[in-house]
Chain A
């Protein structure tokens, strides 16, 4: 469907898990701190939603440095879910996000099912939080994290358990480090997730040939950035065709064209992580670029583009 009246502003709004967003662009967890780091570069209110860093019941110190290594068109990180713990997040960080003019989604993590439930229950007490992104896919934590993210029945177990402790919508964040991503996605949907986010980082490593040692102290870490984009697009394409709930696509998005690629592959919204490190105004530029694309192509609402690539293909 194309707009009859090209003078009309394209509708950029989308809805994810009952959360209405003014545009489909959000921040990727762990790349935006608690929302304070980029305020000199743009207003948080410009974003569709803000997703803040992974939160655990107790403070977590994370992994020792070096935690970063650059690779071709990408980067490895082994932060290890460093965070101040749910109580401090509730007391110190969330209140400052109360009137930011966009939806706040909190990423939650843990080593046991009980950890996830506890964090979810505590965060439900905050009126700032509009949804929870359940990180069952962190490659940097030995116990839990990826263990939940690589077995469908365990992923489903986490979502089912968390659901009993909160009425907030749950977004399951999936790991790409699996053989069949659709199996994982179907399992969490069945368990009650209202949306899925993909992808988290790909497990990788890099070695310094001069010192003959791994570049990360933790040896392995998560790969993000443009290098992972084709993997992420493929997974969004596969998952969005089998799920009823919406998909949030991420992995190497740096421009409006990248974001549109994910939307056409089936993502209802997109998140930007590493791209922000390179261009701190990446998010607002992407939003403007999506709008311009809609105008140029006489698309009346961005929602019409979701999955257009596979819909097109099915039509032949």
Chain B
């Protein structure tokens, strides 16, 4: 079930780093219905500009309080307006949207690989899986202030990588992952982040024959599968043509995606 909540109360809003914000919205129906990997479609302004909603992944839910939490980065008009809302304001949201991560039953060890704000949906997934699985999260960012720290992820095993070496492993999250995989292999990989990073994770998963699910991004209009605007190429193996990122995804198995035809974003 998808809900339109025209007046979701802003229950909390804090800056976590340079241009990065953690936002809590009160929407009990959405917290009940949501599964990791799904997103909210948010109206960032009140008027006609920006016109369209913006998709933001669900980062955590607090079912008791009925709060859904997001972690987002200011990159343009919409997210910049969003960053100005205050506790007590209301936001017009639709959700939960999309096909989320498929939890695996087999195996014990789960690795999460997140680049930048791509870590957000993996935090939700990690929290859902943690009681039963051994979850290790690998999160990368440009510098320390671009990372989401354990006080907000609520994940026990978070390993970090920073490009400038200001925190954790000096280098990319891919470097960190490869380093760790020398010691321990996961039974499944889940990844979200920039396309370049995702392609590297796809390579690593293939080389080691580890199943992988990725969360993809595309520009969206409707967010509910109606407009066919958010296309991403499907692999031949999964039927070819286009997948709708909003409805068929945003989460896909790596083999469902025709990586070579995808737009560099």
Contacts and interface: CB of A to CB of B under 8 A. Distances in A.
B2 A40 contact: yes
Interface in A77-99: 77, 79, 82
Contacts, number: 101
Interface stretch (A29-37, A147-155, A158-166): A29-37
Interface of B: 1-4, 43, 48-53, 92, 94, 218-232, 241-242, 247, 261, 263
Interface stretch (A58-66, A115-123, A240-248, A305-313): A58-66
A41 B227 contact: no
B51 A41 contact: no
A70 B4 contact: no
A35 to B, nearest CB: 9
Given A37-B222, A82-B242, A276-B222, A65 B232 contact: yes
A113 to B, nearest CB: 26
Given A40-B1, A41-B2, A278-B43, A67 B48 contact: no
Nearest to B2: A40
B242 A61 contact: yes
Nearest to B50: A70
B74 to A, nearest CB: 16
A75 B52 contact: yes
A30 B227 contact: yes
A195 B55 CA distance: 38
Interface string A98-141: 00000000000000000000000000000000000000000000
The secondary-structure label for the interface of chain B is loop
B72 to A, nearest CB: 17
Given A61-B242, A65-B218, A278-B43, A72 B226 contact: no
17 contacts: A31-B222, A33-B227, A37-B222, A38-B226, A41-B4, A61-B241, A64-B263, A65-B218, A65-B230, A65-B263, A67-B229, A67-B230, A75-B51, A77-B227, A225-B48, A274-B221, A276-B226
Nearest to B246: A37
A73 B227 contact: no
Q: How large is the interface on A (under 10, 10 to 19, 20 to 34, 35 or more residues)?
A: 35 or more
A68 interface: yes
B239 to A, nearest CB: 12
A21 interface: no
B221 A38 contact: no
Interface of A: 30-33, 36-38, 40-41, 61-62, 64-70, 72-75, 77, 79, 82, 217, 225-227, 274, 276-281
Contacts of A41: 2, 4
Nearest to B219: A68
B254 to A, nearest CB: 19
A51 to B, nearest CB: 12
Contacts of B220: 68
Contacts of A30: 227-228
Nearest to B78: A70
B1 to A, nearest CB: 6
A268 B261 CA distance: 45
A165 to B, nearest CB: 27
A67 B229 CA distance: 5
Contacts of B4: 41, 279-281
Contacts of B49: 72-73
A77 B221 contact: yes
A31 B241 contact: no
A288 to B, nearest CB: 14
Given A37-B225, A277-B222, 14 more contacts: A31-B226, A33-B227, A40-B2, A41-B4, A64-B261, A66-B219, A69-B219, A73-B51, A75-B52, A82-B242, A226-B51, A227-B48, A274-B221, A279-B4
